[in-house]
Chain A
Amino acid sequence: AQKITQTQPGMFVQEKEAVTLDCTYDTSDPSYGLFWYKQPSSGEMIFLIYQGSYDQQNATEGRYSLNFQKARKSANLVISASQLGDSAMYFCAMSFGGATNKLIFGTGTLLAVQP
């Protein structure tokens, strides 16, 4: 069965510093996608970054990068130069199911950026 694990319920980071949010996954499917979403207190799920299971290089989107270690089944999110607006819940998610896009989420990490 597919599973996503986020072991950090909450984290603090100082403004302008980098922070790493951990995510491990488990699947026997060879084809899958890994995603990170940000959910502010308003509730909207904001897509941040994506990594496909066959991608050789780590994905980057602005201040976000995904540290993909396939052998270790980890997909950690790195946020560089944290900003106060980065304070939110962060969910790691995995898509699986071949031709049908089923998405499962980890339990989330609540990030607080301190001035």
Chain B
Amino acid sequence: DTEVTQTPKHLVMGMTNKKSLKCEQHMGHRAMYWYKQKAKKPPELMFVYSYEKLSINESVPSRFSPECPNSSLLNLHLHALQPEDSALYLCASSQGEDVYNEQFFGPGTRLTVL
């Protein structure tokens, strides 16, 4: 299994809602990532988890809360988002955490905040 899965594919939420994005991989990878991609822009790193511990937070607002319950699963909890948070949210994983490991991406969740 060489796949990273993400659910849901699409999500529409209001600014007062609480929702969660889910990412799963079964490749035995030890590092997992969240990226945000605005339309016609490259992805931007949000969070890095290494061995289930948060190792990088790229100064992301607290309305985004990541969680890594186990080595295969990564969640992104959303609360009180703003319309400018509408974007494609991509999850990725890599076998190791050093710079020589390619990251494999999931299909993404398209989020719209009304």
Is the Cβ of B43 less than 8 Å from the Cβ of A101? Answer: no
Chain B residues whose CB sits within 8 angstroms of the CB of A68 once the complex forms: none
Give the number of residues in B that approach A within 8 Å (Cβ atoms): 29
Q: Which of A84-101 contact B (CB under 8 A)?
A: 91, 95-101
A52 pairs with B100, CB closer than 8 A: yes
Rounded to whole Å, the gap between the CB of A49 and the closest CB of chain B is: 9
Q: How far is the CA of A63 from the CA of B98 in the complex (A)?
A: 27
Chain B 42-63 interface residues, beta-carbon cutoff 8 Å to A: 42-45, 48, 50, 55-56
CB distance from A46 to the nearest CB of B (A): 8
Smallest CB separation, A91 vs chain B (Å)? 6
Interchain CB contact under 8 A, A96 and B42: no
Q: Which residues of A contact B56 (CB under 8 A)?
A: 100, 102
Q: How far is the CB of B104 from chain A (nearest CB, A)?
A: 6
- Residues of A whose CB lies within 8 Å of any CB of B are 31-33, 35, 37, 42-47, 50, 52, 91, 95-108
Give me 30 A-to-B residue pairs in the complex whose CB atoms sit less than 8 angstroms apart, sorted by A's number.
A32-B99, A33-B100, A35-B102, A35-B103, A37-B105, A42-B107, A43-B90, A44-B105, A44-B108, A45-B108, A46-B105, A47-B102, A50-B102, A91-B43, A95-B99, A95-B100, A95-B103, A98-B99, A100-B50, A100-B97, A100-B98, A101-B48, A101-B98, A102-B45, A103-B103, A104-B45, A105-B44, A106-B42, A107-B42, A108-B42
Top 3 nearest A-B pairs (CB, nearest first) are A105-B42, A45-B105, A95-B99
